[in-house]
Chains A and B, each alone.
Chain A
Amino acid sequence: MAVYRRNYKPYSGALTPAWSRWLVLFRYSRRNLFRSKFLTGLFVVCFFYPLACLLMIYLAHSATFLQEMGVPMGVLSIDNKFFFHFMSVQGVLAFLLTAFAGPGLISPDLANGALPLYFCRPFSRAEYVLGKSSVLAILLSQITWVPGLILFAMQASLAGASWTSTNLWIAGSLILSSLIWIAILSLLAMALSAWVKWRIVAGALLLGVMFFGAGFAQAINAVMRADWGHFFNVAYLMGTVWNALFQVDSEHAIPVAQAWVALLVYCAICLALLMRKVRAYEVIR
């Protein structure tokens, strides 16, 4: 026997606040993402290095351990380079995670024509992009600046107030470097998946943009005997910005300000491409 009678009744109950609708999309998309065991495994792997760093910070302040190992105090130094390396490793993992998780966020909606169903409701394109991108933003935050700040807090609590006051800028660098990387990765992954509509191709394209971009940049520099080819290499631009943020000595062919501008231009282009594709129906002129 059916649980419900086959009749229709209207709804006249309370509605959720309009501002909170993007959270619905976030919730469903995140739940859908973690149905993949591979992705869940990769997400777990992303916490191995932060745990190792946590252990390293603890050991660096453990006099007994250092004494037993015969390591003089101060050799294991927790400084800006330590956090730069942390960000470099987590940045690569964030990229891999995005390559697997990013394309599956929008491409199924486009491939199955689901966008009109979203946008015929009191739900805008901006809310759609916010809901989808927040999945990646929160996922990547969980493996970049959040563990970075936990490590910083741990180091601060062990090293004392003077170290904290001298190195407080590192916390800001952690957040800023993570945010720009998250923005670039999220927007690039979503823009590519919106344009090719096929999840696997979009993932491959993201890898291609990074690796072929680097190769293309090298080729241009070699042929033209110039440095501006680096503008096609997103990883190089990001490295330049991170080096500056963490005050790590490194030679870079492109000024930091130009690298910042180039990254912001990449973000703007991806956003424009995304908003062009994320429509209920594409208008063919």
Chain B
Amino acid sequence: MSTTAQRGAVDGVSEQTPPAAPLAPLVEIQGLSVRFGNRDILQGVTATLRGRSIGLLGPNGAGKSTLINTLLGFYKSSSGAARVFGYDVATELRKIRGLVGYMPENDAFISKMSAVSFVQMMAELSGLPPSMALERAHEALFYVGLAEARYRPLGTYSLGMKQLAKLAQAIVHGPKLLILDEPTNGLDPSARQRMIRMIKDIRDGQEMRIVLCSHLLRDVEDTCDEVLILKQGRIAHYSNLDEERRANKRFLELETYGANGDFTEAIEKLGCECAVTANRMKMILADGVETRDIFRIAAERQVRIRRMNFRRDTLEDIFLKAMGS
């Protein structure tokens, strides 16, 4: 039995957790359009996002950052409406901004300020009293891993450190929603890993919900449970990655040695649908059938299973399908 098959079997059992109760809507968008000059950047976008961490995906110029900037009130919509935590973006912007932490895509800092002063000032602007802001600035910088460098001027930071400082200012005031615009932009692989780990940690802390905007599929796949794919200012696809992963757990690909019609028949008797080509077999597991049943049948018929994979749509497949459509 191959290692892949073993891992797959173990994964198959451990990941069958019941779905969590649906969360209250985080962002509700109704026919939102944004127009700059004679260019339509967003065109009638309608969606309700409820996930704990939501990924905004799309090629460059798809409207991801524009959507975020419109939700933050930086851009005015030409038509439609949007609500964040139930607050209208057009009329209750101040309430929304009080609940949001934002990490912009580009460089955003004040070069001559030390990181701790900078983060403290940002906390005070969010309404924290000065002493509390100072304490939380230290905490936030420790949390993101800039403890040793927190008294250094931000202008002397490397790109990776600037990204972490931006993250610190985004979480210092304890927002309910963290908006991250291309958080791994320009980071080397180890810094990217660190950033992703931190985002996962924040997500798993249950205190904050996350909207992550990226054109890197891997970042979104690693950190998000819902994904909204934009293409030319419109929604190309919206899916719950968790549900999709769960659904795809029933789709198996086998590579066998010594299999014959008897083996296929036995599996079909369990209620599974099978398609066989040469020594490969694709099947959809019936309810109640587990991978251990496949191993048992194979053992009884002296069939060797060389490879067993859960063939699921990766985010890349989903994305490419969305782009194709």
B109 CB within 8 Å of chain A: yes
- B112 and A4 contacting across the interface, CB-CB below 8 Å: no
B97 to chain A: which residues have CB within 8 Å?
119-123
**Chain A contact residues: over half helix, strand or loop, or mixed?**
loop
| A122 engages B207 (CB within 8 Å) | no
In the complex, whether B18 has a CB less than 8 A from a CB of chain A is no
Given the complex of chains A and B, what is the CA–CA distance between A149 and B140 in angstroms? 47
Residue from the list A2, A9, A13, A112 in contact with B107, Cβ < 8 A: A112
User: What are the residues of chain B within 8 A of A116 when measuring CB–CB?
Assistant: 74, 102, 104, 108
**Cβ contacts under 8 Å, B179 to chain A:** 120
| Chain B residues, CB < 8 A from A67 | none
Q: Once the chains bind, are B174 and A285 in contact (CB under 8 Å)?
A: no
Is the CB–CB distance between B127 and A21 below 8 Å? Answer: yes
Contact status of A15 and B127, CB under 8 A, knowing A8-B207, A281-B74: yes
* Chain-B contact segment, one of A24-32, A152-160, A169-177: A24-32
Question: Is A8 within 8 A of B147, CB to CB?
Answer: no
In the bound assembly, the distance between CA atoms of A16 and B129 in angstroms comes to 6
| Inter-chain residue pair count (beta carbon < 8 A) | 131
Check A119–B138 contact: CB distance below 8 A: no
Q: Which of A1-23 contact B (CB under 8 A)?
A: 2-4, 6-16, 18, 21
The answer to whether B129 and A14 have CB atoms under 8 Å apart is yes
Cα distance A200–B201 when bound, in Å?
44
Would you call B109 and A114 a contact (CB within 8 A)? yes
Contacts A112-B110, A120-B72 given; does A4 touch B128 at CB 8 Å: no
Say whether B205 faces chain A, with CB atoms less than 8 Å apart: yes
Nearest neighbor of B97 in chain A, beta-carbon distance:
A122
A151 to B179, CA, bound (A): 55
B100 at the interface (CB under 8 A from A): yes
Which residue in chain A gives the minimum CB-CB distance to B109? A112
Q: Is B163 an interface residue (CB 8 A)?
A: no
Contact in complex: A3, B138 (CB < 8 Å):
yes
Q: How far is the CA of A124 from the CA of B125 in the complex (A)?
A: 11
Q: Which residues of A contact B112 (CB under 8 A)?
A: 32, 35, 108
Q: A113-B104, A113-B108, A280-B72 are in contact. Are A15 and B36 (CB under 8 A)?
A: no
Interface string of B131-162 (1 = CB under 8 A from A): 01000101110110101000000000000000
A49 at the binding interface (Cβ < 8 Å): no
Contact of B110 with A2 in the complex, beta carbons under 8 Å: no
Contact with A along B196-210 (1 / 0, CB 8 A): 000001100101100
Which A residue's beta carbon lies closest to that of B171?
A8
Establish whether residues B205 and A16, one from each chain, have CB atoms under 8 Å apart when the complex forms.
no
The answer for the CA separation of A18 and B113 in the assembled complex, in Å, is 24
Within 8 A of B (CB), among A113-145: 113-114, 116-124
Minimum Cβ distance to chain A for residue B313 (Å): 33
Of the candidates A10, A21, A284, which one forms a contact with B125 in the assembled complex, judged by CB atoms under 8 Å apart? A21
Contact among B124, B143, B205 with A24 in the assembled complex (CB-CB below 8 Å) = B124
Q: How many B residues are at the interface, by size bracket?
A: 35 or more
Residue of B113, B136, B166 near A11 (CB, 8 A) is B136
B127–A117 CB distance below 8 A: no
B126 within 8 A of A: yes
CB distance from B114 to the nearest CB of A (A): 11
Known: A24-B121, A113-B104, A113-B106. A2 touches B142 (CB 8 A): yes
Q: Across the interface, do A10 and B174 meet the contact criterion of CB distance under 8 Å?
A: yes
Residues on the A chain within 8 Å of B207, using CB: 8-10
Knowing A13-B132, A108-B111, A285-B37, the reply to whether A121 touches B125 (Cβ < 8 A) is: yes
A4 touches B74 (CB 8 A): no
Map CB proximity to A onto B80-112 as digits: 1 under 8 Å, 0 otherwise. Answer: 000000000000001101101110101111111
A123 to B72, CA, bound (A): 12
Contacts of A111 in B (CB 8 A): 111
Given contact pairs A120-B72, A281-B74, a sample of 7 additional A-B residue pairs in the complex whose CB atoms are under 8 Å apart: A9-B139, A18-B94, A108-B110, A109-B110, A117-B169, A119-B72, A284-B36
CB-CB nearest 7 A-B residue pairs: A11-B174, A285-B37, A15-B127, A120-B102, A280-B74, A10-B174, A4-B142
What are 8 inter-chain pairs, A to B, with CB distance below 8 A? A4-B147, A6-B143, A11-B136, A13-B129, A15-B128, A24-B125, A117-B104, A283-B75
The chain B residues found within 8 Å of chain A, CB to CB, are 36-37, 39, 69, 72-75, 94-95, 97-98, 100-102, 104, 106-113, 117, 121-122, 124-129, 132, 136, 138-140, 142-143, 145, 147, 166, 169, 171, 173-174, 179, 201-202, 205, 207-208
Interface residues of A (CB under 8 A from B): 2-4, 6-16, 18, 21, 24-25, 28, 32, 35, 108-109, 111-114, 116-124, 279-281, 283-285
